[in-house]
C-alpha cells in the first residue's frame, strides 16, 4: 500500500484529481468506481475544472458508484450536482444502485451485472468511515460480500445526518460488497481530518480485522492512500 502524504484537504483534492485525471487521459476506455460524501468533493471540483481547461472529453469514461440510500436518490443528486453536470459525460455511461427499486435483492444482482458487463472497475476511489467502513460495508461485513443491502450503523447515521435536512434520513443503503470492491484493478483511498485518524491507523498498523473493513485493502495488490495531516495524526 502506497501512502501519499499531503498537508490538508485542499492538497488532497488536487492530488486526487491529478491521479484520476491522468488515468482518464491515458486510457482509451476507463471504468471509474466513485464515492460520494464530503471527502471527494474537492476532487470533483478540480476534475470539473481540468475537464474545461484541457477540453477533456469523458466520452470514453464509464462510472459506477459505490452506494445509494434505500428509498432515496440522494447520491444520484450529489453526483449530478457535483460532477456529472460539469463534465459532459454521457449519462447512460454513469451508474448508481437504484435505492428506489421495488425488489432490492434483484437490484443488487443487476448492479453486479452492470459492473461485469463493463469488464470490471479500473480505478476505484474510496473514502473511509470513522468506523473503518468502505462503501457502506459496515464493521462485521464478510470480506467476500457482493453488492447488498445494509443497515447503517449509529456511527454512519450520525456522521451523515447533516445531509438530510429535507428528507428523512434513510436507515438502509445498497452498497457494493467488499468482494466487489477488491476486484477493482486499482484503488485510491482518500482520508481527510482527525476523525479518520483511528481508521487510518488501523489500516496501516492494524491486522486484518472484519470489524475494521478497510484493513482488507492490505490484501489488494494496488492501493494508494492519500491522507492529510489530520488523518495521519495517529500514524506518526
Ligand atoms: C460514500 C461512501 C462512504 C464514504 C465514507 C466517508 O459513497 O461509500 O464510504 O466514503 O463514509 O465519508 P466522508 O467523505 O463524508 O467522510
Instruction: Return the CATH number at 134.
Output: 3.40.50.1360
Is there a contact between 28 and 4 (Cβ–Cβ < 8 Å)? no
Residue 156 lies in a domain: yes
Residue 234 lies in a domain: no
Q: Give bridge partners of residue 3 from the DSSP assignment.
A: 225
| Mean pLDDT calculated for residue range 114-126 | 98
Residue 171 lies in a domain: yes
Residue 17 lies in a domain: yes
Give the residue carrying C-alpha cell 457494493: 176
Give the residue carrying C-alpha cell 466487489: 180
Rounded CA-CA distance 62/114 in Å is 11
Residue 20 lies in a domain: yes
Residue nearest to atom 10 of ligand 1 (CA): 127
Is there a contact between 147 and 97 (Cβ–Cβ < 8 Å)? yes
ipTM > 0.95 (yes/no):
yes
State the residue range of the domain holding 150: 2-227
pLDDT band at 57 (very low <50, low <70, confident <90, very high): confident
236 has a pLDDT exceeding 90: no
128 has a pLDDT exceeding 90: yes
What is the distance in A from the centroid of ligand 1 to the CA of 139?
14
Domain count, the chain: 1
Whole-model pTM: value is 0.97
Residue 80 lies in a domain: yes
Is there a contact between 210 and 174 (Cβ–Cβ < 8 Å)? no
When the pLDDT of each residue in the chain is averaged and rounded to a whole number, the result is: 96
What's the confidence (pLDDT) of residue 96? Answer: 98
How many other CB atoms are found less than 10 A from the CB of residue 90? Answer: 11
Grid cell for residue 175: 452498497
CA atoms within 13 A on the CB side of 73: 7
140 has a pLDDT exceeding 80: yes
pLDDT band at 54 (very low <50, low <70, confident <90, very high): confident
Is there a contact between 58 and 89 (Cβ–Cβ < 8 Å)? yes
Residue nearest to atom 11 of ligand 1 (CA): 129
Amino acid at each position: 500500500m502506497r501512502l501519499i502524504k499531503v498537508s490538508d484537504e485542499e492538497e488532497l483534492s488536487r492530488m486526487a484529481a491529478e491521479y484520476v485525471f491522468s488515468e482518464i487521459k491515458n486510457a482509451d476506455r476507463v471504468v471509474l468506481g466513485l464515492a460520494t460524501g464530503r471527502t471527494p468533493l474537492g476532487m470533483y471540483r478540480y476534475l470539473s475544472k481540468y475537464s474545461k481547461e484541457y477540453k477533456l472529453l469523458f466520452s470514453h469514461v464509464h462510472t459506477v458508484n459505490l452506494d445509494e440510500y434505500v428509498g432515496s436518490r440522494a447520491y444520484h443528486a450529489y453526483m449530478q450536482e457535483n460532477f456529472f453536470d460539469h463534465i459532459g459525460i454521457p449519462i447512460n455511461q454513469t451508474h448508481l444502485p437504484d435505492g428506489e427499486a421495488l425488489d432490492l435483492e434483484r437490484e443488487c444482482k443487476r448492479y453486479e451485472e452492470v459492473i461485469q458487463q463493463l469488464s470490471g472497475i479500473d480505478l476505484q476511489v474510496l473514502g473511509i468511515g470513522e468506523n473503518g467502513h468502505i462503501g457502506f460495508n459496515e464493521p462485521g461485513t464478510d470480506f467476500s460480500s457482493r453488492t447488498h443491502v445494509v443497515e447503517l450503523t449509529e456511527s454512519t447515521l450520525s456522521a451523515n445526518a447533516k445531509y438530510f435536512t429535507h428528507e428523512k434520513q434513510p436507515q438502509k443503503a445498497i452498497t457494493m460488497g467488499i468482494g466487489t470492491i477488491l476486484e477493482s484493478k486499482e484503488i485510491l483511498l482518500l482520508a481527510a481530518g482527525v476523525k479518520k485518524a483511528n481508521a487510518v491507523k488501523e489500516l496501516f498498523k492494524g491486522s486484518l480485522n472484519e470489524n475494521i473493513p478497510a484493513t482488507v485493502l492490505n490484501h489488494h495488490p494496488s492501493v494508494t492512500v492519500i491522507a492529510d495531516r489530520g488523518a495521519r495524526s495517529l500514524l506518526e
